[in-house]
Chains A and B, each alone.
Chain A
Amino acid sequence: MSVDSATVRKIASLARIAVSDAEAEALAPELSKILGLVEQLSEVDTTGIAPLAAVVPNHLRLRDDVVTDGDIRDKILKNAPQAEHGFFAVPKVIE
């Protein structure tokens, strides 16, 4: 499978990563190589084999329905580039 620079730019834009045209040109062959490496896996015949979710036998753990967290607004907002009146403040996003 080969990735062209247009695909790289699309993936970058979906992931909100700024990639210049020159970088996209350079990344295209790199990503193609990585995908090529991974693609070797499809040579293995997996007919009738259930997908493996974890390599050790393990079960999803569940929590009880109890409030054990929250009420840490100041901590939460401390990382925000901008916070006002207890809210995160972000550039206006409206359609």
Chain B
Amino acid sequence: MSNYRIQGATGEWEVVIGLEVHAQITSNAKLFSGASTRFGNEPNANVSLVDAAMPGMLPVLNRECVRQAVRTGMAIDAQINKWSRFDRKNYFYADLPQGYQISQLYHPIVGEGSLLIDADEKAGIPEPKTIGVERIHIEQDAGKLMHDQHPTRSYVDLNRCGVALMEIVSRPDMSSPAEAGAYIRKLRSILRYVGSCDGNMEEGSMRADVNVSVRRAGEELGTRTETKNVNSVRFVMQAIEYEAGRQVDVLEAGGKIVQETRLFDPDKAVTRSMRSKEDAHDYRYFPDPDLLPLELEDSFLVDCRASLPELPDAKRARYRDALGISAYAADVITADVETARWFETLLAAGAEAKAGANWLTSELFGALNRLGRTISDCPVSPVQAAQLLALVADGTLSGSLAKQVFEIMLESGEDPAKIVDERGMKQTSDTGAIEAVIAGILAANADKVEQYKGGKEALFGFFVGQTMKAMAGKANPKVVNDLLKKALEA
């Protein structure tokens, strides 16, 4: 149980949160037409006569969209409904030429499921928590309106109109902004593993409607408000924080919460009433007469299940238990499917699991952060990284030499063996060469040698540093240590 509370003037309030996440289904063509879903095409290029709702056009359901919704349901252990149906949700707005959205109100394709959010002590989530998912249904997205291009006109781009969405409806099981944030991040991670949604919130592939209400501890649920179309994890958390605070203020001043739709203003981090006309919610749903019920065959379900990948929770447990990777590294690597894939290619190319995990979470992530890149446009391939780690493992490179070689790899994209060969960056264990350098350094620093012998043992590090410097970092550190000790004790 979260201990998140709003401190009001009259006491403490609990917050109750439910989320409806709209996730764009990854597909080439739209839900009911053969037009492209590609993001960034010229306005109205991805529009067929079906999407423009020309008279007589009929919708034909895209099989892939059905498959992805079913696989998503299976990934959250949800009930899959072998019989589902499409309904019309009627409303008039310029972004939807049909005059209705085809959706699934009464018989959704996916029923009750759940997902587990991870413990995050710092965020006030002391232990993992199960969040119920009430349903997932398939529906059409609407087009895009632009209001700032012309003084008296709005411009309409129907490219997104008819693209397939999954609406994933949670139970009101979250009780703090942090839990809501963790839920969206976990859901996004699962969708990306499954491959049913790219989770790209900037491009609008995932948006959330945020339902918030407040109550005194242990009392009945309060009246909720719904804040529409919030498009980042941070904004969802801000919207909840603001909205819960606003509701407490209203209630403590003796007012009542009106069940209404609100908008989030990301610049001011506040929510505002949409003041819609009272008729706006009279959607007059009815079964779409253009579409027969959707019936799923057993063989289709078997194929869907067989195509599911290892999911993040299972992968993380396996990394920890079977590969012996630290809990921290296992968390970081499995959080996103791209990182996990990169890591598994690294292992397949021969890297040892623990060394590989440590290197990836420190060196590689550090470099990507510095370069402002992500793992998907990493300049070094996992195979090259495995070669680098092999050179460390067999003693060719010391840790510090490996760092230098890695820097050159990031810049040039060359293989590590080639860099080592061409630039002579091999670590040397040649005792004769090292002894000669040590002799020179001790001779040049006779005063420090005296101090060391007089008990100032901290100076040992100074001698090591000088030797490594003189050898351009290429001396094997262990050999240097051994030889220095011997020389100083002589």
Contact = CB atoms under 8 A, between A and B. Distances in A.
B36 A91 contact: no
B47 A87 contact: no
Contact of A87 (B49, B156, B276): B156
Contacts, number: 135
B258 to A, nearest CB: 17
Contacts of A64: 62-64
B91 to A, nearest CB: 9
A77 to B, nearest CB: 7
A69 B34 contact: yes
B147 interface: yes
Interface string A67-80: 11111110111010
Nearest to B95: A93
A31 B146 CA distance: 40
A22 interface: no
A38 to B, nearest CB: 14
A89 B61 contact: no
A87 B90 contact: no
Interface in A76-95: 76-77, 79, 82, 84-95
A24 B360 CA distance: 72
Given A62-B60, A63-B63, A65-B29, A91 B153 contact: yes
A27 to B, nearest CB: 17
B111 to A, nearest CB: 19
A61 B59 CA distance: 10
Interface size class of A (residues with CB under 8 A): 35 or more
B263 to A, nearest CB: 8
A87 B159 CA distance: 10
Nearest to B284: A14
A18 interface: no
A10 B155 CA distance: 29
Contacts of A86: 42-44
B145 A71 contact: no
A60 B291 contact: yes
Interface in A1-55: 10, 13-14, 16, 53-54
B451 to A, nearest CB: 76
A60 B294 contact: yes
Contact of B295 (A59, A75, A82, A89): A59
Contacts of B158: 76, 88
Contacts of B28: 65-67
B50 A69 contact: yes
Contact of A69 (B27, B35, B66, B274): B35
B150 A65 contact: no
Contacts of A88: 44, 94, 155-156, 158
Contacts of A77: 44
A65 to B, nearest CB: 4
A70 B62 contact: no
26 contacts: A14-B90, A14-B282, A14-B284, A60-B295, A63-B60, A63-B62, A66-B28, A68-B29, A69-B33, A69-B48, A69-B49, A72-B48, A73-B44, A76-B44, A76-B49, A76-B158, A77-B44, A84-B153, A85-B149, A85-B155, A88-B158, A90-B94, A92-B150, A92-B152, A93-B94, A95-B274
Interface of B: 27-29, 33-36, 42-50, 52, 54, 60-66, 85, 90, 92-94, 145-147, 149-150, 152-158, 263, 274-276, 279, 282, 284, 291-295
Given A65-B27, A73-B42, A95-B274, 4 more contacts: A65-B62, A67-B29, A67-B35, A69-B29
Interface of A: 10, 13-14, 16, 53-54, 58-73, 75-77, 79, 82, 84-95
